[in-house]
Amino acid sequence: MERIVIVSNRVPSGSSDAAAGGLAVALKAALGEREGIWFGWDGKIGKNTSRSAQVKRSGALTFATLSLSKPEFRGYYEEFSNRALWPVFHGRLDLCRPDGGSFQTYKDVNLRFARALTELLQKDDRIWVQDYHLIPLGRALRRLGVDGPLGFFLHIPFPQAESLAALPSLKELLADLCAYDLVGFQTQACAENFRDAVARTLGGCLQSDGSLTVGDQVVNVGAFPVGLDTRAFAEMAASPEVIRRSRKLRDAMGEGNWICGVDRLDYIKGIAERLRAFENLLQQAPELRGRLSLIQVAAPSRESVTEYRAMRDQLDSLSGRINGRFGTFDWTPVHYLNRTFSQKPLAALYRASRIGLVTPLRDGMNLVAKEFIAAQDPEDPGVLVLSRFAGAAEELSDALLVNPFDQAAMVEAIKTALAMPLKERQQRWRRMFERIEQNTAESWRNGFLEALEAAWEDRGEARAERAA
Ligand code: F6P
């Protein structure tokens, strides 16, 4: 079997990955035992920005990493990736504020990555580039003479053409994406938005099989919703250690119930809106005071970026306000935890909670929603309240779907979840569990790589026709 070469901005440093959900968790599960290279940034900022990657082997996998210099970190990561692409792709045009030279630095880093990667490549490698930090990498590889199958997967949403117009250098970025053989998205809606943007901006022609032709370039496009290693997560959540932890947590609540929210601290996650909805609920339903608490985990993220620091201050004060307003000597309404937790305590939290509140304002997929389902006790499952603007809503339609911008609807959804009869909870949970049992990290990987193979073969015919 050919080697798979994953390229992502972040490469996990060790075997124990602390983060909940997210790209690294999905990729780790997707790689499994397969032989390959995982190439990217080592997470360090320093002077040692050597030309060649540091290589470390671990079983079948080779980790190859590079450091970033301070100006590279600023221009490529903080500014262009996280103050231009991230807000625009999530519909927050008001927060798109990259500084002037950052697009050039973004391209330079991509070129530097491409050069270092070519030193490690073998002829039959399948190269799979991940996420918005690395859009230009494919075209840079092609220019350096790499002519094997090249795929790109976007983990975050791809917006409609009107929103995209806010992006500096949009044409160049779309042309970069069209240099891949296959571009994959989390949802059908995002794939459609991409086709539309390429047609409008680059004059691309949509073919009957859903691919796009731009000049003599053909790019296949598809939706590949990312999944979990569901079985492994469910087994971990049903292990004696996790069950013990979750019982302890439930006992601490007595007759009452826990609601949980688990996110990276990010303005797209709707944490402030969620806290306000919880506050409104306590205001409207005094009988719930003392009987319902929200545990909100907000793992620190991108703290050097201004908007994230502002968000942290906002959440500190909001959670403090709710506790100050409603708390008693023996009851704390909001347990706000601005820390990172590993998977076992999170699985215990999911299992102990009557409600999982996953209400991002916009999200590519949101694997926390799937982890919440995977962690439930089949006999007594909790209820998932899920934002209709999370990619996961396309698959998990048996959740209580809410509009996170609508406070009244959020309050109603929590009330409905609390009142839901056991039978209905079991039925909804069973259907969602079956779905995530089918759509796993492994099937995501296989689906994408098979489509990449097919795209590559199509290109072969086109190349031969051109040559003839
Ligand atoms: O899923 C989106 C994403 O940006 C991933 O690419 C990334 O690994 C994760 O969120 C965490 O963000 P960051 O790498 O900026 O800490």
How many structural domains is the chain composed of? 2
Ligand 1 near 7 CB (within 6 A): no
Ligand 1 near 22 CB (within 6 A): yes
Ligand 1 near 403 CB (within 6 A): no
- Distance (Å) from CA 23 to ligand 1 centroid: 7
75 with 185, same domain: the answer is: yes
Please state, in angstroms and rounded to a whole number, the distance separating the CA atoms of residues 158 and 90: 8
The residue whose CA has the least distance to atom 7 of ligand 1 is 23
Question: What residue has token string 């780790």?
Answer: 28
Question: Which residues is 400 bridged to in the sheet?
Answer: 385
Judged by DSSP in three states, 358 sits in strand
38, 88, 131: residue to mutate for ligand 1 pocket, most atoms within 8 A of CB = 131
Ligand 1 near 83 CB (within 6 A): no
- Distance (Å) from CA 133 to ligand 1 centroid: 9
Least Cα distance to 86 among 180, 177, 12, 157 occurs for: 157
What pLDDT was estimated at residue 348?
98
Ligand 1 near 169 CB (within 6 A): no
Burial 92-114 (b: 16+ CB within 10 A, else e): beebbebeeebbebbbbbbbbbb
170 with 196, same domain: the answer is: yes
Ligand 1 near 90 CB (within 6 A): no
207 with 292, same domain: the answer is: no
- Distance (Å) from CA 79 to ligand 1 centroid: 14
Contact indicator for 230, 236 with CB cutoff of 8 Å: no
- Distance (Å) from CA 340 to ligand 1 centroid: 14
CATH number of the domain to which 116 belongs: 3.40.50.2000
Of residues 125, 155, 266, 398, which has the active-site annotation? 155
Contact indicator for 29, 62 with CB cutoff of 8 Å: no
196 with 241, same domain: the answer is: no
The residue whose CA has the least distance to atom 11 of ligand 1 is 22
What pLDDT was estimated at residue 468?
67
283 with 178, same domain: the answer is: no
Ligand 1 near 155 CB (within 6 A): yes
- Distance (Å) from CA 430 to ligand 1 centroid: 30
What pLDDT was estimated at residue 344?
97
β pairing state of 212-214 and 217-223: antiparallel
Ligand 1 near 156 CB (within 6 A): yes
Q: Which atom of ligand 1 is nearest to the CA of 132?
A: 6
Please state, in angstroms and rounded to a whole number, the distance separating the CA atoms of residues 440 and 30: 8
43 with 162, same domain: the answer is: yes
Please state, in angstroms and rounded to a whole number, the distance separating the CA atoms of residues 107 and 140: 9
Cα-based distances in Å from 272 to 25, 265, 312, 318? 25, 10, 10, 7
Per residue, the 3-state secondary structure of 280-295, as one string, reads HHHHHCHHHCCCEEEE
114 with 178, same domain: the answer is: yes
- Full residue range of the structural domain in which residue 432 is found: 230-438
Please state, in angstroms and rounded to a whole number, the distance separating the CA atoms of residues 45 and 215: 40
Is residue 335 part of the annotated active site? The answer reads no
Q: Which atom of ligand 1 is nearest to the CA of 301?
A: 16
- Distance (Å) from CA 318 to ligand 1 centroid: 25
376 with 284, same domain: the answer is: yes
Contact indicator for 411, 383 with CB cutoff of 8 Å: no
Ligand 1 near 301 CB (within 6 A): yes
96 phi and psi angles, rounded to 5 deg: -80, 100
Please state, in angstroms and rounded to a whole number, the distance separating the CA atoms of residues 287 and 29: 43
Question: Which residues is 150 bridged to in the sheet?
Answer: 127
What pLDDT was estimated at residue 16?
47
Q: What is the pLDDT along the chain (468 residues), one digit of tens a residue?
A: 789 999 999 998 754 444 445 677 778 777 777 789 999 999 999 876 788 999 998 888 899 999 999 999 999 999 999 999 999 999 999 999 878 899 999 999 999 999 999 999 999 999 999 999 999 999 999 999 999 999 999 999 999 999 999 998 999 999 999 999 999 999 999 999 999 999 999 999 999 999 999 998 999 999 999 999 999 999 999 999 999 999 999 999 999 999 999 999 999 999 999 999 999 999 999 999 999 999 999 999 999 999 999 999 999 999 999 999 999 999 999 999 999 999 999 999 999 999 999 999 999 999 999 999 999 999 999 999 999 999 999 999 999 999 999 999 999 999 999 999 999 999 999 999 999 999 999 999 999 999 999 999 888 877 677 666
463 with 384, same domain: the answer is: no
117 with 136, same domain: the answer is: yes
Question: Which residues is 355 bridged to in the sheet?
Answer: 259, 383
Q: Which atom of ligand 1 is nearest to the CA of 364?
A: 1
- Report which secondary-structure segment, H or E, holds 321: helix 306-326
Ligand 1 near 226 CB (within 6 A): no
423 with 334, same domain: the answer is: yes
Least Cα distance to 179 among 228, 142, 221 occurs for: 142
Q: How many CB atoms lie within 10 A of CB 128?
A: 25
The pTM (predicted TM-score) of the whole model is: 0.95
Cα-based distances in Å from 18 to 28, 167, 340, 342, 346? 12, 33, 7, 4, 10
Judged by DSSP in three states, 94 sits in helix
Q: Which atom of ligand 1 is nearest to the CA of 133?
A: 6
> Which residues have CB under 8 Å from 371's CB, separation 6+?
20, 21, 228, 233, 262, 346, 347, 350
Contact indicator for 37, 62 with CB cutoff of 8 Å: yes
Of residues 42, 229, 363, 398, which has the active-site annotation? 363
β pairing state of 205-206 and 212-214: antiparallel
Is residue 363 part of the annotated active site? The answer reads yes
415 with 455, same domain: the answer is: no
What pLDDT was estimated at residue 466?
61
Tokens for 84, please give them. Answer: 């231009």
- Report which secondary-structure segment, H or E, holds 400: strand 400-402
- Distance (Å) from CA 33 to ligand 1 centroid: 23
- Distance (Å) from CA 130 to ligand 1 centroid: 10
Ligand 1 near 302 CB (within 6 A): yes
